[in-house]
Structure 1
Amino acid sequence: MGLLDGADRAAGDLAAAGGPGVAVAPRPGALAGLTVLEVGVFMAAPFATMQLADLGARVIKVENPAGPDPTRTTGPFLQDPDGHRHSSPFARLNRNKESVALDLKSDAGRSAFLRLAARADALVENLRPGALRRLGLGPDELAEVNPGLVYASASGFGQDGPLAALPGLDIMAQARSGLMSITGTPDGDPVKIGVPICDLVSGLYTALAVVSALRARDRDGAGQSVDVSLLESGVSLAVWEAGKYLATGEVGRPLGSAHQTQAPYQAVRCADGFVTLGAITPKTWDGLCTALDLPALRDDPRYRDSSSRHALRAELIPAIEAATATRARAEVVAALEAAGVPCAPIEDYGQVFTDGHLRERDYFWDAEHPDLGPVRQLGSPMRLSGTPARRGPAGPVLGADTRAVLTEVGASPEEIDAALAALAVAR
C-alpha cells in the first residue's frame, strides 16, 4: 500500500446519508490505499493519473518549481480575488491531486523523490524517454528502493525503437498512426481529430496498465515497467481499417462523417444544422424510409442491405437529404426516434456543457480551489455503484503540499528546506 491507507482521505469525498438522522458510512474509493507519483506534463500522464485519482488513489504530482507542468501557463485563465491567474485547463485536468515541488536535478530533490518512490505504489511519467533515467531515477534505480513499484512511462513513440528519441506530440502521433489519413472529407486538406485523441487514449491505456500491473503485483509480489506510446495507442483504434486492409489490401480514405463499411450511417443536412443517423439494419432502414416518407428508396432492390447501400452512398445520401434539408433538426430527430432509428443532432460544446440529460445525471460538478472557489468539472464516465468516483479539490497550487508530504515520508530538514527555498525562488 501507499503513504496512507487512503480510507480517511476518500471517505470525505464519498459522504452519504441514509434516512432522517441515520448516517451511512461511505465506502472508500475503488483505488483508495494506493499512492501514485506523477511526473507529468500537458496531457498523457496527467490524464492517466486523473483517472486513478478519480477512482480514489492518492496522486502526488511532482513538478520542478522552476519549470512546472506547462499546462499551468496554458490559457484561458481564471483570476482569483488577489489578481493571480490560474490555468483553467490545469484546474480541471489535475483535480484530486496534491502538488510537491522538487528540483530533481539537485541532490536534495533526488533524495526526497526517492523517499516518495520508496513508499509509493506506482509512478506515471511522460517525459522524453530516458529523461528520468539520466537523473538516476529510472526503473532500475527506483526498483532498488521499492521492488513493488509499477513504473509507467507514456511517450510519443515508445521507450525504444528508431523513433523513440523524437518529440512526440499528439498531432505527430495522429499523423503517423494513420488517423489523419482517414479524417476529414474526400479530397480535402489533412484534418486532425478535434480532441488530442492519441494523448487521451494513451492516458487511458496507461491508467488501465497501471491498475493491471498492480493487480499482478498483488498476485506475484513484484512491480514492473509499463511502456505506452501515443503512436501505438492511435494505431490500436484502427479496428475497421485493419479489418479491411489485412483482408483485402484496401487502404482506408477520408469519408467525412460516413461509416467505413455500412450506410446510411453519417450526418445529413437539415434546414438548421445536421443530424446523425444510423439505419443499417433491415428494421432501422425500413423505419428511416417510413419516417422520412421515402418508399421509393425502401423498395429499390439496389438498397437491399447495408453493404449495397454503402457502395451507392454517392446517390443514396443526396436522396435522403432531399427529405431532411427542408425540415428542422428537431423535426427530423422526432420522426426518426418515433420510428426507432438511432439518431442525434450535432451539438456544439455550448450546448453540451448545458445539456439537460447530463445535468439530470449529475455529470457536471464543482471542485473547490483554495483561491478560485468552485471550478466546474467534467464528470467521470466511470459510474461505480458502491465506490463512486471521487469529487475532491481542483488542480492544486504549485507546491502546495510540499512540506506536508515530505514530512510524512521522513525527509530531512535539509531536503525540506531546499525544496521550499527552490519553490520560493520560483514564485
Structure 2
Amino acid sequence: MTDGTETDGTSRLPLTGFRVLELSHIVAGPSGGLLLADLGADVIKVEEPRGGDQSRAMPNRGSTFYALNRNKRSLAVDLKSDAGREIFTRLVRGTDILLDNYAPGVLERLGFGYEWGSGINPGIIYCSIKGFLPGPYGDRPLLDELAQMMGSMAYMTGPAGRPLRAGSSVIDIGAATYGVLAALAALADRQRTGRGQRIQAGLFESTVWFTAQHLAQASLSGESPVPMPERGMGSRLGWGVYQLFKTVDDREVFIAITSNGHWQRFCQEFGLEDLGADPELDSNAKRAANRHRTIPRIEAVAANLTAAELIERMERVQVPYAPLNNPYDLLSDPQLNSGKLLEVQTEAGPAIKTAGSPVASSDFTLSVRHQPPGLGQHSREILLEMGYSEPEIEALAASGSVRLDGPVLLSGDRSS
C-alpha cells in the first residue's frame, strides 16, 4: 500500500488514508471503486477465490477488468467460510466505505448487510449500486441495457420504432458515479455526526436522470418527445448548422455553428462570403429556416477537403468541430496522449492504454499506483497488515478460505 503520494513527491491524493472495500464485478461497482482508488483511497477488491470478478474471464480478453481495476488490491476470500467471515468482519471494523453492486439481498443473506456493518462500525458508509432505489421495484434485478430501455434512453436514442442502447455502459458508470458522489458527501457528513449511513444508487433512476430534459418536455406537452434521430442533427437544438459532413477521404467531421460570429468566420474562411453577407442568413433562426440553401454549400466545401485539412481550418477560425472517431482513433488522439490515457500492464502481454479519470486538480496528479491485480495478489499483504501471522495465513490458504498470490484469470479460464 502506498501513502497516496505521487512518485515525484509533489502531490498528495485527497482520499489518502481512507479505506474502501469493493465487493463488485464487471462494470458498475468496479467503475465506482476506480474513481475512489484513483483519488487515493486504499481500495481492497474482495473477490471470491475460485473466479473473482466475472470480468476477468469475459470473452473480451479481460479488457473490461484491465480498464476498471487499476490502483486496487485484491483479497480473495471465501465469505461463506467461518474464517473468511472473521477476516471480513475485522476488515469492516476499519473501513470507511463498503461499495457493492451485488444482486438485491445478497449481502443480507451473507449476514453482512448495513445493520450488521453499522453495528460493528458506526462510521461505515455502505454504497450499493442497484437496479432500482427503494420502491415498488426495489427488489428487482436490472442491467444497464434493460435500464436504458425502461428509462426511455433507448427510445430517444434510436430512430422511431428502432430503440437503440448507447454505445457504452453509461448507466452502470453513471449510477456508480452518483453513488460515489453521495458516499463522499456522507463521508463529509460523518465529520459532523460521527456516524455513517447507507447510500443507494439506482440504474433505472440514473437513466431517468440522464433523460431529464425529455421527461420535462413530456410533462409540459402531454406527449412523448420525438426520438433524437428523427429530428435531424441541426434541428435537435434549433441550430442552423449542426451536423456531420463527409470529407474527400471518407471521414466525417461534425460542424457546430451556434453564433453569428461562428457563421461569419466560417463563411470568410471557406469562400462563402455571399452566404455571410446575406441578410436572410444573419441569425440562427434564419439559418435554421434556410438549411436547404446553406447545408449543400457546406457539404460541397467538406467534400473537397480531407478531414485533416477541414479540421485545421476550423481550428484556425475557432468554430466548434469534432471528428467522428472510433475507439481505435482515440489511442492516437493528441489531447488524450497528453496524460489523459493511462497505461496498465496485462498478465499475458504488453501494456495497454486505458482511460484516466476525467478530472484534473491544481494540487494533485492522477496516475497508476497499482497495476490491475491478480486474483488474490494482495491477500497475504492485507492479512499481514491485519495482524495474521505467516503460519495462520498458510493455514487459511490450505483450508480454501483465502487464495494467495493468484494470477489474473484470462478469457475462458475459470480454474482455481
Range into which the TM-score falls when normalised by the shorter chain = 0.7 to 0.9
Structure 1 residue 419: deviation in Å? 5.3
Instruction: Specify every segment of 5 or more residues in structure 1 that has no aligned partner in the other structure, as ranges.
Output: 1-5, 17-24, 78-86
Say whether 1:277 aligns with 2:259. Answer: no
Name 2:149's counterpart in structure 1.
175
Match of 2:16 among 9, 29, 32: 32
- Amino acid in the other structure paired with 1:49: G
Q: Could you tell which deviates more after superposition, 318-327 or 382-391?
A: 318-327
- Amino acid in the other structure paired with 1:279: I
Match of 1:321 among 275, 284, 299: 299
Q: What secondary structure, in the 3-state scheme, does the structure 2 residue paired with 1:33 have?
A: coil
Say whether 1:135 aligns with 2:76. Answer: no
Match of 2:85 among 98, 102, 110: 110
- Contact 1:40–1:46 under 8 Å retained in 2: yes
Partner Cα distance (1:417, 1:156) in 2: 39
Q: Could you tell which deviates more after superposition, 148-157 or 288-297?
A: 288-297
Partner Cα distance (2:235, 2:85) in 1: 51
Partner Cα distance (2:212, 2:268) in 1: 33
CA distance 1:176–1:319, change in 2 (3 Å): farther
Q: Deviations over 1:339-375 (max 9, x none)?
A: 321112212222211123322x222333356775744
Name 1:3's counterpart in structure 2.
none
Name 2:188's counterpart in structure 1.
215
Match of 1:63 among 23, 47, 56: 47
- Contact 1:108–1:414 under 8 Å retained in 2: no
Determine what percentage of the aligned residue pairs are the same residue. 33
Name 2:372's counterpart in structure 1.
395
- Contact 2:49–2:375 under 8 Å retained in 1: yes
Q: Deviations over 1:25-81 (max 9, x none)?
A: 44321110000000001111100110111011000000111342110002333xxxx
Name 1:152's counterpart in structure 2.
127
Structure 1 residue 386: deviation in Å? 1.8
Partner Cα distance (2:298, 2:398) in 1: 66
Q: Deviations over 1:229-274 (max 9, x none)?
A: 1121122122442453344345141226556323222222222221
Q: Could you tell which deviates more after superposition, 415-424 or 218-227?
A: 415-424
Name 2:412's counterpart in structure 1.
none
Name 1:260's counterpart in structure 2.
236
Partner Cα distance (2:298, 2:350) in 1: 50
Partner Cα distance (2:176, 2:321) in 1: 30
Structure 1 residue 283: deviation in Å? 1.3
Moved segments of 4+, more than 6 Å: 412-416
- Contact 1:42–1:71 under 8 Å retained in 2: yes
The number of residue pairs the alignment matches comes to: 399
Partner Cα distance (2:166, 2:35) in 1: 22
Name 1:349's counterpart in structure 2.
327
Name 2:168's counterpart in structure 1.
195
CA distance 1:118–1:173, change in 2 (3 Å): same
- Contact 1:213–1:224 under 8 Å retained in 2: yes
Say whether 1:89 aligns with 2:64. Answer: yes
- Amino acid in the other structure paired with 2:196: G
Partner Cα distance (1:316, 1:416) in 2: 75
Partner Cα distance (1:303, 1:252) in 2: 27
Structure 1 residue 161: deviation in Å? 2.4
Q: Could you tell which deviates more after superposition, 246-255 or 53-62?
A: 246-255
Partner Cα distance (1:216, 1:180) in 2: 36
Partner Cα distance (2:336, 2:80) in 1: 45
Partner Cα distance (1:244, 1:372) in 2: 50
Q: Deviations over 1:153-184 (max 9, x none)?
A: 001223x2233333311111111121111213
TM-score, normalisation: structure 1: 0.84
- Contact 1:175–1:181 under 8 Å retained in 2: yes
Say whether 1:10 aligns with 2:4. Answer: yes
- Amino acid in the other structure paired with 2:372: G
Partner Cα distance (2:277, 2:332) in 1: 42
Partner Cα distance (2:183, 2:113) in 1: 17
Say whether 1:42 aligns with 2:31. Answer: no
Name 2:98's counterpart in structure 1.
123
- Contact 1:62–1:99 under 8 Å retained in 2: yes
- Amino acid in the other structure paired with 2:330: V
Partner Cα distance (1:301, 1:253) in 2: 33
Q: Could you tell which deviates more after superposition, 265-274 or 172-181?
A: 265-274
